[in-house]
Amino acid sequence: MLQAAAVGGAGGLVTKTISVHPAHVPHPCMAEIRGGFLNTELWSELPKEQWIETEYKLAKATGLPVIIGLGYTANQIRELAPLVKPYADALELSTHYVGNDISPIINALRAAKAAVDVPVFMKLSPHPNIQEIAIALEQAGADALVMINSFGPCLSIDLETGLPLMGSKEGFGWLSGPAIKPLALRCVYDAARAVKIPIFGVGGVSNGRDAAEMFMAGASAVQVCTEAILRGPSVYGRIAKELDAFLDKHGYQSIEEIKGLTIRRMAEYDALPVVRPPHVDVERCNLCGLCEISCPYGAITKGEVLNIDREKCFICGLCVSRCKLQALAMER
């Protein structure tokens, strides 16, 4: 699969997290759900020996940078890092199952830094206090942050049997895919304002526009998992091409111009943006009525053209976000 990802246009490979012992993965462990994806995969079910003897070599043979995923405690990292060192262009430590106390994460980072001289990236779950954790990890020597891991625990139920979709003990799984993109963006944006080390944005990137959003939030690179599981390894090249097309269409010369753009744009406002009711572009509007149906304030009516009652309009913005033709626009 790593080789297929390379053929599919990936710019680098992140290998599945391994730990000292193979994971006992409950079954079923993956499901597509509306707007996202649930998994209860833990770490790799393959023994570390298979990775070291076979899989990493195959990954290295692609010629791409290989980022080796390891978990979880300092002792486990101390044992694993020297073993994977010959194949690692960087290590990525997953912190998903270490809990909320930050000291085990810092200790794992220190164990990795002591064992290898390649960069060590720290993969984070979507904590509410992500800035605090990001700062602590930067100070402890992390070379980059990767955020976010899947979000949970979550539950989805098979209506035919009444049983949870996931075969884990409590039936819970971890959410990924489009549903978690806003959460990932918030984390990237928060962390990017707090630290100087690079951030890899991951969570719900399905196309080039999603990738552009991650860069605008402050990411220096993006990772993609669920989209490749659902649509195959060619998504990597497709997303890269779409990102290129987005940059061209908007007149950006390079990705540097959009990196952290949202942070810079927000800094330009010293108060909340002043907004007026949306402007209607009558040339573009086809009177489909989507905005009228969902206006909670009854401010939109269709006549010969679309009318917005300026007294009733609460400037909530919903109609603008729903219009498929970009016929409605907010002046900020």
Ligand X SMILES: Cc1cc2nc3c(=O)[nH]c(=O)nc-3n(C[C@H](O)[C@H](O)[C@H](O)COP(=O)(O)O)c2cc1C
Contacts to ligand X by CB under 6 A: 16-17, 30, 37, 39, 41, 43, 69, 94, 123, 149-150, 176-177, 180, 202-205, 224-227
Give dist(CA 122, CA 99) in Å, integer.
14
Give dist(CA 189, CA 215) in Å, integer.
9
Question: Considering Cα of 100, then 186, then 37, then 42, what sign does the dihedral take?
Answer: negative
Between 76 and 226, whose beta carbon lies closer to ligand X?
226
Q: How far is the CB of 317 from ligand X (least distance, A)?
A: 26
Between 43 and 308, whose beta carbon lies closer to ligand X?
43
Q: How far is the CB of 201 from ligand X (least distance, A)?
A: 9
Question: Considering Cα of 216, then 219, then 222, then 226, what sign does the dihedral take?
Answer: negative
Q: How far is the CB of 208 from ligand X (least distance, A)?
A: 14
Q: How far is the CB of 13 from ligand X (least distance, A)?
A: 12
- Quote the radius of gyration of the chain (alpha carbons, Å): 23
Between 17 and 156, whose beta carbon lies closer to ligand X?
17
Q: How far is the CB of 318 from ligand X (least distance, A)?
A: 25
Looking at the DSSP bridge assignments, the partners of residue 301 are: 307
Between 42 and 280, whose beta carbon lies closer to ligand X?
42
| Phi, psi (degrees; rounded to nearest 5) at 290 | -60, -40
> Edge-to-edge, what's the strand order for the sheet holding 221-223?
13-14, 66-70, 90-94, 120-124, 144-147, 199-202, 221-223
Structure tokens belonging to residue 103 = 């000291």
Give me the count of residues in the chain: 332
Does 126 sit behind a cis peptide bond, omega within 30 degrees of 0 on the bond before it?
no
Between 68 and 319, whose beta carbon lies closer to ligand X?
68
Q: How far is the CB of 97 from ligand X (least distance, A)?
A: 10
Find the largest Cα–Cα distance for the chain.
Answer: 72
User: DSSP code of 324?
Assistant: T
Between 165 and 323, whose beta carbon lies closer to ligand X?
165
Neighbours of 215 (CB within 10 A): 25
Q: How far is the CB of 298 from ligand X (least distance, A)?
A: 37
Structure tokens belonging to residue 284 = 């573009």
Give dist(CA 57, CA 269) in Å, integer.
50
Between 177 and 278, whose beta carbon lies closer to ligand X?
177
Between 98 and 205, whose beta carbon lies closer to ligand X?
205
Q: How far is the CB of 207 from ligand X (least distance, A)?
A: 12
